[in-house]
Amino acid sequence: MTEYVIQTRALTKRYGNKLALNHLDLQIPRGRIHAIVGANGAGKSTLFRILLGFLAPTSGECSILGCDSQALTPALRSRIGFVNEEHTLPGWMTVAAVVAMQRRHYPKWDESIHRSVLDNYHVLPEQKVSQLSRGERAGLNLSLALAQGPELLILDEPTLGLDVVAKRAFLDSLLHSNASDECTIIYCSHQMEEIERVADNLIILERGELMNMSPPDDFRERVRYWIADIPFKGPDPRSVPGLLQAQAIDGLCHYLVIDQGEDFADFLRSKGARNVQDMPVGLDRAVNGFLAKNHISSAAKERQA
């Protein structure tokens, strides 16, 4: 058994002139829930397709559960669960027929896990999949994936399009399932409130590069929000250390910065600030500010190249 469920080395994927993955080095350790986030075009979908053997890389290496992702056998695939945003299931089949089919294909099938998850949803065995709501299909899909007993479960935007009640039911099902303690979960989402609730590890991708890998709280604590009363227009944004965002509101200068300690207040005072205060930020603001800054910077580099 390998220490890492996913390993990439200099993993690169090009679509013509577009660079989707840029010499990506990534090691995701076994166990717990790892969230992968990034702006559109960060390379998340490309990474998943290569990991699951649906797409070949341009160059570099990629392994999943210790095996080359381009040489996955049926036995190895049975150790991997996957739930996508579409919750694709055969609409013409009944729920009972789908469950029976899955039960036959997976020798490690755990009926108790399947029932414990599906019982959170009002799904009847005789219903056709096409008759289920999107939230019910999401719950059915999760129950199937967890009951197969995977070592690795990949959830790609699983709550996209679900209402608040359905999202809560899905997350509760994931967190309270015994199976979630026995497999490694990769959770991809744009919803930071979900990431904050479920993730033990936060992975940020931007333009196919690894930008951060740490516990969510550790990343959030790196970002701080400062408000200063500075006469005139304040310092040139290009001179502000660690700047992610800057704006003027009601005559005050607001700064979102990263990796700046208390000496940032001294910097502001050196620029004429009369009153300075800082406050903590939530994970949503920290990640989105970081992504926005790096997305713009990466786009500018691509245009120059």
CA 282 vs CA 130, 196, 246, 264, 295: distances in Å = 39, 9, 17, 20, 20
**Mean pLDDT, residues 60-78:** 94
Please enumerate, as own/partner, the contacts of 134-139 that have beta carbons within 8 Å and a separation of 24 or more: 134/87, 134/161, 134/162, 134/166, 135/162, 135/163, 135/165, 135/166, 135/169, 135/170, 137/87, 137/89, 138/83, 138/87, 138/162, 138/166, 138/170, 139/166, 139/169, 139/170, 139/173
pLDDT at res. 211? 95
What gap in Å lies between CA 37 and CA 187, rounded to an integer?
9
pLDDT score of 299 more than 90: no
Structural domains in the chain, sorted by start = 31-53+64-214 (3.40.50.300), 222-304 (3.30.70)
- Reduced to 3 states, what is the DSSP secondary structure of residue 111? helix
**Mean pLDDT, residues 68-73:** 94
pLDDT in tens, 192-237: 999 999 999 999 999 999 999 999 999 999 999 999 998 877 888 9
pLDDT in tens, 83-140: 888 878 888 999 999 999 999 988 889 998 898 888 888 899 999 999 999 899 999 9
- Reduced to 3 states, what is the DSSP secondary structure of residue 99? helix
pLDDT in tens, 2-17: 789 999 999 999 999 8
Instruction: Report pTM.
Output: 0.88
Handedness of CA 27, 32, 38, 41 (dihedral sign): positive
Instruction: Give one DSSP letter per residue of 291-302, joined into a string.
Output: HHHHHHHHHHHH
